[in-house]
Structure 1
Amino acid sequence: MRVHQPHRPLRAGVALVMTGLVAFTGARAAQADGGRCTFPAEPIAERPWALQRVLLDQAWEHTRGAGVSVAVIDSGVDVTNPQLADAVAADRGADLTDADGGSTTDTVGHGTKVAGIIAARAHPDTGFVGLAPEATIVPIRQNNADGSSNVATLAAAIRHAVAEDVDVINVSQDTEAPPGEGSALEDAVREALDADIVVVASVGNEGADGERRHTYPAAYEGVLAVAASDRNNERAPFSQSGDFVGIAAPGVDMVSTVPGGGQCVDSGTSFAAPYVSGAAALLRAARPDWSAREVVAHLQQTAERAAPGPDPLTGWGVVDPVRALREAGGDPADAPVPDPPAPAPPAPEVPELSLGETHAERAERLGTFVILTGTVLAAALAGAALIHRDWRRRSR
């Protein structure tokens, strides 16, 4: 099981291969000043770019996510960070590792960053806040610095989230090796979908080589697979591509909470997935009557897209939480549909082509010229004759 590493800096994390699965060890990200991230970190005062692209006041006119719970299956969620102290329901969480601590112990910071993007509360020291700042995080520690993660524990984590009756599950982990048909992981995902839970998973950070590959659980049918986009709403170079990609979200230079307090900057599809989970939490709070499938379809239908339909790089487009909430008043759809083709532009008005005068028009013009010229000459000759006659009379 791979827990997505930050894309920058390259030495931010070290991968361990264990029983065919990959886990992170001591992932660290760069702070805003370009230095290493230590826990706790200094607060970042500015509003992050990924939140500047969203008019949060407009989104929060509808809801802030109250009453919705999001399971974060990750490395634990630290609650000593003041932005998460009131956001986490530790009594509903679980620790499936053999490490010291519990579900609110996060020695690497990955799960704390993921949770912050979803539901961090506002704080006067920073411009960073979660997309759904009144949602509740259910922390499920399934991976840690010792690489205790595997497909079995991920399946158990998903089942625990189902038992806790959460509304959204966020999985920022993946494996390229597809579990066998009817595996425990596939069965657990199916149980979550059957329980009407929105399951969001990151697609992975191995996309720089251009090879399209499926990753799991993102590639399971019904899971909303999230790619990472940059400031231009284009696929981040590291983001995995493939026909299973369902949507994209900001995943480059993402500010979020870290253990002990403060924020750091990180990159990866790990942080694009919770951006979508936060949007899903808002939509579930605004439309509790909608099914999980309808929520997913609506997020895809209202995404900001560059093409009429889906593509293997960003799916149906980059999630737009404000538009999703603004357009949530109608009847929901079970699946997104391509945009209608743009109407053809009106034909330009073409002036009549003039080919010059016809033969008859030219003959008429020349005839008129000859008549006028003859008349003038005749008048001139008659005048000259009169002048000559008068001159001869005076000369006698």
Structure 2
Amino acid sequence: MVLAALGLTAVGAVPAAAGQAHPSRGSAPAAGYATAGQEPGKAGQDPGLDSTGECKFGGKNIKSTPWSLQRVLLDELWSEATGEGVTVAVIDTGVDKDNSQVRPALAPGGKDFVGKSNGTTDVNGHGTRVAGIIAARKAKDTGFSGIAPKAKILPLRYTGSEDPEKKGDSSTMVEAIDYAVSKKVDIINISSDTADKKSNPGLQAAVQKAVNAGILVVAAAGNDGANGKLEYTYPASYEGVLAVAASDRNNERAFFSQSGRFVGIAAPGVGMVSTVPNGGQCPADGTSFSAPYVAGVAALMFEKYPTWDAQQIAARMQQTANRPGPTKDAQLGWGVVDPVAALTGDDKPQNQPHADVRQQSRHVTPMSLTVGESDTERTQRISVYVMSAGTVLTLLIGGTAIAARDHRRKRTPEGGSADSTTSTRH
């Protein structure tokens, strides 16, 4: 079974059928595969792209901060954790050691399963992009860095060889997964899926071995979702894997992102700036770049919560995600990952995400009807009665006094005193 990454049928960038795509640079891709460059009409405007909109390896860095990082309070995030002491295995096309932002992140012991390098050669650029989103170091001339800027990357090249006879397949991916398990990494990132969307017993067994070893396996959901159909992709659909869909700037599903019941969470996957071979940066679209965003957040969490297991890390990310509704759906899973929320708040772990009861009660609850009056209503009624009675009594007393005074005046002789007596003699 052939697997997607570069040189095969890929998750890494939006397929050519989706439009907006440009041919990938490096080893020749399989038919129907292409890397996404940028939005239409902007070719050549980005320092990482040439006049045709294709990525330039060894180009310049992009000075501005990518939108996927602008939406995060990075100072607050990195005050909680930076990923230090955490290792992420990137099973991909290799990670180029000549990019200055990526080189310091590379852990020793990388391996090449389709060539003779130690995993630090990347002729296509896919794996270097993935690694950069996770752990690229900060640099003065750019606003881009990895989400976990002190995590380590173990580069494992399972595909993307210079030799067309060594393209890589399920067997080399299985070898890479087994190797990562032997190295006791904390996280495995797989930004690939099977070309025919079918499960493979050997691959499933390898993934299960990693999950059983306590490793968090993060996998891209796939880029064949433009038709809106629910599908299963592998290895993302295997039990215990955190499958990542792509979201856009509005926290909605990117049009290409594969939907399915297996989707666990979503992350930015449109216009994703990252590092490329020989230096420089380029933007690209794809769930391949959503998965490492989640892997980077997980690296931060493994540092902050060293006693939590992989399942608890995944559950916290899903529980604190920005949700479109109270529960999970087939497009964004439990929602779009919120890095700061995942690392702040309650430090008590949970094993599974649960529905948000507060979001379930969005409708207005009508008042309950009662027969008769309540205690409050009775008190108000009596108070009104007392006040009314007091007012009436006051008016009555005042009116009586006035009437008595007028009556006395009528009986008093003109010019006399009311207290004098007179008699008439005949």
Secondary structure at 2:288 match in 1: helix
- Give the equivalent residue in structure 1 for 2:149: 133
1:38 is matched with which residue: 45, 56, 62? 56
Secondary structure at 1:66 match in 2: coil
1:271 is matched with which residue: 271, 289, 296? 289
How far off its partner does 1:148 sit? 1.2
Separation in structure 1 between the aligned mates of residue 350 and residue 120 of structure 2, nearest angstrom = 37
Separation in structure 1 between the aligned mates of residue 257 and residue 71 of structure 2, nearest angstrom = 20
* 1:262 is aligned to 2:277: no
1:115-154 equivalences under 5 Å are 115-144=131-160, 146=164, 148-154=167-173
Q: 1:301 corresponds to which letter in structure 2?
A: Q
- Give the equivalent residue in structure 2 for 1:330: 347
Percent of pairs with identical residues:
49
- Give the equivalent residue in structure 2 for 1:160: 179
Separation in structure 2 between the aligned mates of residue 222 and residue 128 of structure 1, nearest angstrom = 31
Q: In the alignment, is the contact (CA less than 8 A) between 2:129 and 2:274 conserved in 1? A: yes
- Give the equivalent residue in structure 2 for 1:114: 130
Q: Report the CA distance shift for 1:32/1:306 in structure 2 as closer, same or farther (over 3 A).
A: farther
Secondary structure at 1:285 match in 2: helix
Separation in structure 2 between the aligned mates of residue 5 and residue 84 of structure 1, nearest angstrom = 18
Secondary structure at 1:201 match in 2: strand
How far off its partner does 1:210 sit? 1.6
- Give the equivalent residue in structure 2 for 1:385: none
* 1:297 is aligned to 2:289: no
Q: In the alignment, is the contact (CA less than 8 A) between 2:193 and 2:222 conserved in 1? A: yes
Query: 1:80-115 CA distances to partner (integer Å, 9 max, x unpaired)?
Result: 1110111001x32110003x5440000011000000
Secondary structure at 1:256 match in 2: strand
Separation in structure 1 between the aligned mates of residue 276 and residue 63 of structure 2, nearest angstrom = 15
How far off its partner does 1:29 sit? 3.3
- Give the equivalent residue in structure 1 for 2:22: 11
How far off its partner does 1:165 sit? 0.5
Q: In the alignment, is the contact (CA less than 8 A) between 1:32 and 1:265 conserved in 2? A: no
Separation in structure 2 between the aligned mates of residue 56 and residue 159 of structure 1, nearest angstrom = 34
1:245 is matched with which residue: 263, 280, 287? 263
How far off its partner does 1:79 sit? 1.5
* 1:177 is aligned to 2:197: yes
Separation in structure 2 between the aligned mates of residue 278 and residue 314 of structure 1, nearest angstrom = 18
Q: Please report the RMSD computed on the Cα atoms of aligned residues, expressed in angstroms.
A: 2.1
Separation in structure 2 between the aligned mates of residue 233 and residue 154 of structure 1, nearest angstrom = 32
* 1:221 is aligned to 2:239: yes
Q: In the alignment, is the contact (CA less than 8 A) between 2:72 and 2:340 conserved in 1? A: yes
Secondary structure at 1:190 match in 2: helix
How far off its partner does 1:178 sit? 2.2
Gaps of 5+ in 1: 350-396
- Give the equivalent residue in structure 2 for 1:51: 69
Secondary structure at 1:51 match in 2: helix
Give the structure-2-normalised TM-score. 0.76
How far off its partner does 1:344 sit? 5.2
How far off its partner does 1:197 sit? 0.5
* 1:339 is aligned to 2:356: yes
Q: In the alignment, is the contact (CA less than 8 A) between 1:32 and 1:264 conserved in 2? A: no
Gaps of 5+ in 2: 6-10, 39-43, 369-426
- Give the equivalent residue in structure 1 for 2:113: 96
Secondary structure at 1:111 match in 2: helix
Q: In the alignment, is the contact (CA less than 8 A) between 1:77 and 1:105 conserved in 2? A: yes
How far off its partner does 1:6 sit? 2.2
